[in-house]
Chains A and B, each alone.
Chain A
């Protein structure tokens, strides 16, 4: 990794220079929630945000996405891609994108996702956990790659990790704004990380979690939550690693039609419904449990399908807590 320092007094100028790399989107406070929005000035950005409601996946897998347009009886690929800079992405969300990469960039490659990924600059930012975060338990609290630049807060500026060729080019173009990193800066960087590491309140015990869950298929805990869960699917929408989608064709006029995909949720009754009315996950219990299995699936090459961002807890109207459910399942098994 290459490290440079961005002094506070140069921060705004650096921020403004990002506009030449694409439209800048950053966390903005709206009422009580944060959301990635287009921004023009540094003043609009909430640098100390906790988490946005929708994760950055919304830029790569749009909530509603036109795949193909029917013209003269043939499908034409819908091709608009915008150059974007995602400014202020937290480490867990960078990991979330890498989990999506495993799906969408696996053969056969999803060209829409790939194009958008290639046209995006990812600038990470350090954060402090709140009561919902448990990324440390999953090892997603620090990003080693998947970003172009990562900004770590220092008392008098930012320690910048340069994570890609594109990141290097951005630093290059702003050479005059950066300084060498000093021993002092590294000390502050380490202090910040230590303080952060000690601030996590929530921990997920993931030891043997995959097997443990498998054994607990008939656990009464699932039945308890079947009654509490509203089946609204919020937890899926806000999750940086959830990516089920549904596809529909729409007619725009008598000659033109579009094929659109949009977010789907495994909490919806139709998710496992096939022809003739047979449903492979007919009850809410089946669907609730399925989500936990999907999130806690242990892929030896990728780890869990959860990055511990805490969104599903914060935005669950029934106040269901991910870690608590898993702990209860484990407890019941003992």
Chain B
């Protein structure tokens, strides 16, 4: 159940593209045709599936405060979390290089169709973002990390597939000239993101707010602001009412 919940959550609610804007560069650059979009999307799913659990292990046994306990009691006080950027990106770059070699060896045709996009995955922020969010959301087990990696990969795949299909159709529309290409893609993505926001109530049935700790920092600050404003309004009403009573 836990796995299923995290899986759907990472696909729809925390969608990499529409909720956190990760991997936008390749999302915009490689979404002109559905076929290339599918190739890149599949590669992203695969790399996320491998790197998120790997980085989870690194985080758990090397980086976290006290993670070095397995080396001996005298290492328990070390906190290497400042090294996480460098270790995560090294894992990702190595994995991407490995994937490239394996794909080239076993499926030259797929390798040729992906071509330049494979090494580009190393600098796709969705991949590093997957590992960083895995760390900041403190995903508890290796299995859940795997679910999270696959789920967010599928979410990214869905997003690029959808925009590629829309862009293939949009070519026949009469768009104002300055908005053609990049401009309209941005705006369509924005509208899709508004649509995806409605998935927010999926797991809670829309009756209660999603749990506060599941939200990203930015969403939290927005929420806090709203609450602040709401409390101010209430206070103001109370003040007015008391004045009237007086």
A binds B: no
Residues of chain A at the chain B interface (Cβ within 8 Å): none
